[in-house]
Amino acid sequence: MGGTIALLAAQGHRVTLVDMTTGEPTPHGSEETRAREAAAAAKVLGVTRINAGFKNREVLYSLEARHRMAGLYRQLRPEILFMPYPHDAHPDHIAVTRICEDARFDGKLTKSAIPGEPYYCQRILYYFCTHLRISFPATFCVDVSPYWQKKIEAVNCYQSQFYAGRTGAEQGAVVRYVTTIAEYLGGTINRSHAEGFYAIESLGLSSLDHLVR
């Protein structure tokens, strides 16, 4: 959802990216490399970035994990929580989504050991980030055409993830896949590139003025 992040930042919204882990170990990276890449991508998008401190490849759903995230919610007090679509082949992604969903409830609890003042975020939206080759049931799509190159610039900051140590068709394959999905979703709303989002709860509109035509 990098295009949407860039759009929100350009509109003056405060956007904080929460990396759940350092992203390491991976075949061709290091913690230092990933930290540099993440910082570079955040700078491109114009947002701030923090790390929640979970262990990569070993993210587990637990009460402690929920309360850690609830403490972050109380600190950041977001209007919208964006999290990965819950159907995935990656155990970390699945655990992260469930932790973040339940932390939303925990964040409003009184008489708890969670630091900060109780807070309840009103909205969860899921973005398409999955290791499964499935069609994403988007509730709505955001036109990110004006910010597409900025998104690709941010994605390409992750050289260790998408290019280093890869040859032939594997080199840049994820970036091409991301582009294909965005072009498909863009086609559904008559735009060059779009990002899709899924909502469980109903979305309310105060106006129809900004519907894409």
CATH of the domain at 126: 3.40.50.10320
> Could you write out the three-class secondary structure of 37-86?
HHHHHHHHHCCEEEECCCCCCCCCCCHHHHHHHHHHHHHHCCCEEEEECC
Q: Which pTM was predicted?
A: 0.94
How many structural domains does the chain have? Answer: 1
Task: Determine, yes or no, domain membership for 213.
Answer: no
Task: Determine, yes or no, domain membership for 187.
Answer: yes
Q: What is the pLDDT of residues 73-123, one digit of tens each?
A: 999 999 999 999 999 999 999 999 999 999 999 999 999 999 999 999 999
Task: Determine, yes or no, domain membership for 205.
Answer: no
Q: Shortest CA distance to 55 belongs to which of 100, 29, 99, 24? A: 24
Q: Is 123 in a helix, a strand, or coil?
A: strand
* Mean pLDDT computed over every residue of the chain: 96
Rounded to an integer, what distance in angstroms lies between the CA atom of residue 182 and that of residue 136? 11
Which residues, 6 or more positions from 101, have their beta carbon under 8 angstroms from its beta carbon? 83, 124
Counting every residue written for the chain, the total comes to 213
Task: Determine, yes or no, domain membership for 44.
Answer: yes
**Quick check: 118 and 74 in contact, CB under 8 A?**
yes
Task: Determine, yes or no, domain membership for 207.
Answer: no
Q: How confident is the model at residue 29 (pLDDT cuts 50, 70, 90)?
A: confident
Least confident residue range of 98-112, 142-156, 160-174, 185-199: 160-174
Domain of residue 169 covers 2-198
**Quick check: 34 and 170 in contact, CB under 8 A?**
no
Rounded to an integer, what distance in angstroms lies between the CA atom of residue 43 and that of residue 13? 15
Task: Determine, yes or no, domain membership for 116.
Answer: yes
Q: Shortest CA distance to 163 belongs to which of 184, 155, 9? A: 155
Mean pLDDT of 38-66: 97
Q: How confident is the model at residue 55 (pLDDT cuts 50, 70, 90)?
A: very high
Rounded to an integer, what distance in angstroms lies between the CA atom of residue 9 and that of residue 46? 6
Task: Determine, yes or no, domain membership for 206.
Answer: no
Rounded to an integer, what distance in angstroms lies between the CA atom of residue 166 and that of residue 69? 35
Task: Determine, yes or no, domain membership for 208.
Answer: no
